[in-house]
Chains A and B, each alone.
Chain A
Amino acid sequence: DGGITQSPKYLFRKEGQNVTLSCEQNLNHDAMYWYRQDPGQGLRLIYYSQIVNDFQKGDIAEGYSVSREKKESFPLTVTSAQKNPTAFYLCASSMGLSDTIYFGEGSWLTVV
């Protein structure tokens, strides 16, 4: 089946640790995105990538890093510099910028 796969679905992190969230898509989409959602809030853009080996900061990139070495993959690392990382993280993709965006099932990150 075509789609966007995020893993893990649930992740617990100790303070001071880096964690990496995986995002893989088999839709042959060029553009990929990471959003963060806090309870009762809208989605906020962390990073986006239009093509392989290129990515840009979104509105809340501080404390996060990404890579885009393959078209299918866009992993997100939540670093220890991110002061309040507990949130629902959503990976998404689209054929290109301005095209319809489709979401993965999300990853819940909790800092303990």
Chain B
Amino acid sequence: QKEVEQNSGPLSVPEGAIASLNCTYSDRVSQSFFWYRQYSGKSPELIMSIYSNGDKEDGRFTAQLNKASQYVSLLIRDSQPSDSATYLCAPYSGYALNFGKGTSLLVTP
């Protein structure tokens, strides 16, 4: 079984702080990685993807990938209460996305 591990949280950060979400994966052949945000009772929505080692920035979000360590992370700068949600890490494993259980983020005003 190809595993994706995320700290379930909740991760609580004050408004305006940086939230750091981490993910490790077991499938060494994974080449593309996705972060989704899921609000309670809703479907996941794509935040960003990353394919190469290093950092990728998109607005307040930065994804970081280290394939040698099988580690991917998501940083959220200037966190807002509207960022409170569950964040799902999903590496591609073969034919489809393999999802972690997600990290619950709570941004407090």
What total of chain B residues lie within 8 Å of the partner, measured CB to CB? 22
Interface-lining segment among B11-19, B66-74, B76-84, B95-103: B95-103
A104 to B46, CA, bound (A): 12
A17 within 8 Å of B (CB atoms): no
Would you call A105 an interface residue if the criterion is a C-beta within 8 Å of the partner chain's C-beta atoms? Answer: yes
Decide yes or no whether B88 CB sits under 8 A from chain A: yes
Contact between chains at B102 and A42 (CB < 8 Å): yes
Using C-beta atoms within 8 Å of the partner chain, give the interface range for chain A.
20 to 34
Q: Is the CB of A101 within 8 A of B88?
A: no
Partner of A43, one of B42, B45, B88, B95: B88
**Contact, CB under 8 Å: A101 / B97:** yes
Instruction: Collect the chain B residues with CB atoms within 8 Å of residue A98's CB.
Output: 31-32, 92
The reply on A63 being an interface residue by CB < 8 A is no
- A100 and B99 CA atoms in complex are apart in Å by 14
- Contacts between the two chains (Cβ within 8 Å), count: 48
B43, B92, B99: residue with the most chain A Cβ atoms closer than 10 Å? B43
Report yes or no: A48 in contact with B46, Cβ–Cβ below 8 A. Answer: no
Q: Which residues of B contact A100 (CB under 8 A)?
A: 34, 46, 49
Q: Select from chain A the residue with minimum beta-carbon distance to B36.
A: A103
| Any B CB within 8 A of the CB of A41 | yes
A61 near B: Cβ within 8 Å? no
Residue in A35, A43, A100, A102 with the greatest tally of chain B CB atoms within 10 Å = A43
| Residue B4 lies at the interface, judged by CB distance under 8 Å to chain A | yes
Cβ 8 A contact of B44, one of A41, A44, A90: A90
Q: Given that A42-B4, A42-B102 are contacting pairs, would A104 and B43 also be in contact in the complex, using a CB cutoff of 8 Å?
A: yes
Chain B residues proximal to chain A, CB less than 8 Å: 4, 8, 31-32, 34, 42-46, 49, 88, 90, 92, 95-102
Please list the residues of chain A having a beta carbon within 8 angstroms of any beta carbon in chain B.
33, 35, 40-45, 48, 50, 56, 58, 90, 97-98, 100-106
